[in-house]
Structure 1
């Protein structure tokens, strides 16, 4: 399927398989979503399902025209908030790839992946204003063997959000900012969540983000799972609010109740050659669970500075075990 240069309006659409043979979806023009979210009538504006050997490519743009909808995103205080449409989703898609596309001003997230295996994303641009709520760049659950590279993400929420059940990811040469960083979680809110294992984030730059690398699990979590085998290396932080942030007391709004510790185990985490500037005095924060302390956390060559009037950068540690070698700014606090 080919979308030539030009501007074309498109309502909510699903491209569903199974299909025989390879499928190529080339976008050279601009696809415009209905500005009114109710006119899409779907949770995902452009959805690909049950397809193998799919290529989505081209120099074109999918424009969610989300500005009119962002003010409706008040789910933190309104249980009846509307479900806003994601720009593009991939469900049960295997051995596929995406390259060259720009996703602009999504109503909710830009790209959503569910139960995807062997999928490569490269050369993609995801753009929404820093104050646009819940416009995650790439959101992924129950997926495996994905590679994300040479991609620029500017958004109002997580640049990349790794949710339940993800394994074997390689993320590199990504620029993130504005946004909330590259996150695992939040996890622990629901009972049937799955382990997260095997994530590498490398050779990337975070500029003006609220977080750099973050792991967030709900306090009083409903599930008992393991987050393990994580490598973060060669990462530059430029004026990042919280460059390194493990938060196992995540409780952003009711009905979250602070009744106990997170039951999620975080282990085998390597943080190597991470440098730059922290907007906060606390540049490194490990706020781990008292019941399930973080284990085998390795810090190697960390150099994060803070130039505020409140003094130099510091690290905070709760319930974390591991080691530290090489240069260590701020001084580490690991047992």
Structure 2
């Protein structure tokens, strides 16, 4: 009898163990190490087909999430597109170097590495996207050469939601480094973006028609805008960014094309501009094709170190004179707050607020501005105001010009 009882207890314990084990989560990601799936890290073999096939396998996996892993090594990569929708979450870990073709004509698409129609994408790692842009930069002369070649951006995201990038480096892009279009709920942290200050149109992060973007703890040094914010972009939070060299954090240019959308709800805080041509910048075309609103911007706790134009609203934007002047900008700028902006300006005009005569800037608030002139020309810093309504409080260097 005792043996029967013991056997029954043992059977119950075994069933309990099986039940518990069966309820444990089994959704560990399936790891796709690119080397095991045919990618060769010799810096010469084009791995585009291998990466595309790996993506397709990872994207269609149903039972659990997928993890694509790029180990250390140099993986030459022609133009690739990673297209969803996918059946699961995708983690893309880059610890090696992805190497672009040096010849820009060898990339047969607008973006070297492009993600489209993907949700729940997580890109991370200690690796590098090497755009090998040096050969392309002299060709970037479209403002004077109608036969200029189409240069590819390094990495693009279109219709990508609930996703993030963490930790990777983008080096020497041919055009912009990262391009975002119709992207929503996207986090960017710990990213490093690097290109020489004389590399044209190498914007760091560029956004259009996107929303709920968070950028933090990121270092951007490039030949154009560190961050460019374009038509239809809303709800951005930018913090702890180091920008330099470059053209600052720019909203615009806006108003040039028809059917542009409003840009609103931007916060930039705890950020440093070092040696940039501009810091806080809003630029709109004088001859507007669209009538839109730029509103609800807050800039606070911003340090300027030898910045050309620390605060610059330019509603007569003209990058390549002479420009065809047809009238005032139709872009309305309103509800703009700048608090605790301090440091040094290369130019005497440290605060430049040149707004539209037809649509004057409304409700511009300056609080505790301390920008000293540190340029070649002698004299204290100054402020210029045109067609702007607002008020100032706290310390004011230069003396404000608001009515």
Give the TM bin, normalised by the shorter chain: over 0.9
For residues 368 and 291 of structure 2, the distance between their equivalents in structure 1, rounded to whole angstroms, comes to 32
> TM-score by structure 1 length?
0.99
User: Structure 2: where are the runs of 5+ without partners?
Assistant: 1-67
Is 1:170 aligned to 2:237, yes or no? Answer: yes
RMSD: 0.9
For residues 252 and 24 of structure 1, the distance between their equivalents in structure 2, rounded to whole angstroms, comes to 40
Secondary structure of 2:207's partner?
strand
Q: 1:284 pairs with 347, 351, 356, which one?
A: 351
List structure 1 segments (4+ residues) > 2 angstroms apart after TM superposition.
Answer: 253-256, 307-310
Compare the two structures and name the one with the higher strand fraction.
1
Contact in 1 for aligned 2:347/2:374 (Cα 8 Å): no
Secondary structure of 1:51's partner?
strand
Contact in 2 for aligned 1:277/1:305 (Cα 8 Å): yes
Q: Which residue of 2 aligns with 1:214?
A: 281
CA deviation vs aligned residue, 1:287-330 (integer Å, no higher than 9, x gap)? 00000000000000000000343310000000000010000000
Is 1:143 aligned to 2:176, yes or no? Answer: no
For residues 36 and 243 of structure 1, the distance between their equivalents in structure 2, rounded to whole angstroms, comes to 37
Contact in 2 for aligned 1:196/1:227 (Cα 8 Å): yes
Q: Which residue of 2 aligns with 1:111?
A: 178
Q: Which residue of 1 aligns with 2:382?
A: 314
Contact in 1 for aligned 2:185/2:213 (Cα 8 Å): yes
Secondary structure of 1:71's partner?
helix
For residues 68 and 253 of structure 1, the distance between their equivalents in structure 2, rounded to whole angstroms, comes to 23
Give the deviation of 1:79 after TM superposition: 2.3
Q: 2:219 pairs with 131, 152, 156, which one?
A: 152
Correspondences of 1:78-89 after superposition (within 5 Å): 78-89=145-156
Compare the two structures and name the one with the higher helix fraction.
2
Q: Which residue of 2 aligns with 1:223?
A: 290
Q: Which residue of 1 aligns with 2:34?
A: none
User: Structure 1: where are the runs of 5+ without partners?
Assistant: none
Secondary structure of 2:105's partner?
helix
Change (3 A) 1:203 1:16: same
Correspondences of 1:44-63 after superposition (within 5 Å): 44-63=111-130
Q: 1:99 pairs with 160, 166, 183, which one?
A: 166
Q: Which residue of 1 aligns with 2:400?
A: 332
**Count of residue pairs brought into register by the alignment:** 335
- State the structure with more CA Rg: 2
Contact in 1 for aligned 2:306/2:374 (Cα 8 Å): no
Give the deviation of 1:256 after TM superposition: 4.0
**Structure having greater relative contact order (Cα 8 Å, sep ≥ 6):** 1
CA deviation vs aligned residue, 1:116-151 (integer Å, no higher than 9, x gap)? 000000000000000000000000000000000000
